Structure 1
């Protein structure tokens, strides 16, 4: 779970509350840590690839509304193979 939004922390800091500066510092550190984790693990790229895979399957279904179950299975399999190859390449 992410910490409070930076806007809330900034508002507390600007209101000169006693914990405002500490809260802003903590939230900023947490956000930077989260971003670093996403970049180091490649999770942001994996999420992007997953979204592209789902969209490609949805697009196929939209363009081929009368496709057989076998055709759908083949397309889903193809998109999953592409997704897996992209993730392996990270």
Structure 2
């Protein structure tokens, strides 16, 4: 999830009302904190980048956010494969 704490003039993205969802509702489910896998967090970051790309006013910024979205989706897929893999751990030599 992207948290914007300040606005800088280098970005043409309008950051007023930038959040596409309530951050508290993102992490809470029925009053309890929800656990998210790394892959889910990466996908959430990809969605944030896509959201920001849609609202970008210039082509360079939009393309940057779309590249970041693709990178987060790639990381999510790789993390999901790692999560589903059985690991064989070698013992350290004594």
TM range (shorter): 0.3 to 0.5
* TM-score, reference length from structure 2: 0.33
* TM-score, reference length from structure 1: 0.34
Bigger Rg, structure 1 or 2: 1
Richer in helix (by share): 1
